[in-house]
Structure 1
Amino acid sequence: MLKSYEAIYDNGQVKWLEDTPKVTCACVIITILEESNKSVFSRRQPPEFIAGKGKTLGDIVSPIVDEDDWECLK
């Protein structure tokens, strides 16, 4: 059975991105994807003009608006 694994090839080294194959010796076929400008390891950051300005108004357990204000339930 064929199984795919994601990895990065960097200076002759293979760096596995998720789980690693559970084999000690195997025949492999490598497909090289086009290089992108983004690093796989870089973490996305919010733009500076909105960073830290978010506000949580409610949660998934309780509604943000009182049930008395729900017109669709009347």
Structure 2
Amino acid sequence: MTLQEVIDLAKQLSTVDKVRLIQQIVPDIEQELIHEIPTPRQSLWGLCADLGKAPSADEIDAARFEEWATFAREDI
């Protein structure tokens, strides 16, 4: 039986029977969720490790100086 067939059958129930169905199914779902083992997440440390060595502070300062050297400055 497919999920769609089950849904179609559930739609044919009276409102009271639908509530009873939900009351019977919810404890099973709760038990499955409690016993479900969470998948371990990958640590964010080292996320960029494959990109190679990070630039040093001196290299960053030199690049910043090069970029701002041609920036137009006007005294106000």
Q: Shorter chain as normaliser: what TM range? A: under 0.3
Q: What is the TM-score normalised by the length of structure 1?
A: 0.24
Greater Rg by CA: 2
The answer to which structure has the higher helix fraction is 2
Normalized per residue, the structure richer in strand is 1
Structure number with higher relative contact order (C-alpha < 8 Å, ≥ 6 residues apart): 1
